[in-house]
Amino acid sequence: MGTVIFDLDGTLADTSGDLIAAANACFRGLGAGDILDARTDAGTALRGGRAMLRLGFDRIGQGTDEAEIDVQYPILLAAYAEAIDVHSYMYDGAMDAVEALKTSGFKVGICTNKPEGLAETLMQRLGVRDAFGSLIGADTLAVRKPDPEPLREAVRRAGGDPAQCVLIGDSDTDRNTAKNAGVPSILVTFGPGAGDMQALEPDALLPHYDDLF
């Protein structure tokens, strides 16, 4: 049987609330207050810490100050690590789908652009880490998605064949990762980062985890 690899943020779990809170901790430290809104900026949150910082600096009229973003990024990560599971939750049906895949003989793993240590902590805090045969983060290897090697390594560590896998994700990064690896992609159409997934031309769309089978 093949291997199913999942992206994490925006695919398995909605982590946007805790990411927004961590970015706002940076802006409060600069005296700017809470600049980002968990309701309207969730999509940006799922694109990563630097994307949130860029958005916030733009709102306070500071433009894209990459030097300041470099300063604030480790502060954001530290704030996030301290409160990583306050608002985050697994999407409805996600773990039922994972267990059904395993029962059917599939290997399962995670390939994320979240730093590995933070991803491990989050999955453990949410009580689901042991369900996955592998977890590859942004800093596990020398390269990250959309380079295909993290996906392939996630498959290998889960005990599968990289030529026989599928990547389930929520972004063009995931679509391009699968394409670069020469394997199919499935993009979820739920969650704050979904948008128009059809335009990315994945091999399939997933409106709910109940529809995976």
Active-site positions read 7
Pairing of strands 13-14, 89-90: antiparallel
Alpha helices (H) in 6-148, listed in sequence order: 16-29, 42-45, 49-59, 66-82, 94-103, 116-125
- Burial track 12-51 (b if 16+ CB lie within 10 A, e otherwise): bbbbbbbbbbbbbbbbeebeeeebbebeebbbbbbbbbeb
Q: What would the two tokens of residue 50 be?
A: 């630097």
| Nearest alpha carbon to residue 60 among 33, 29, 81, 96 | 33
What tokens were used for 30? 């600069």
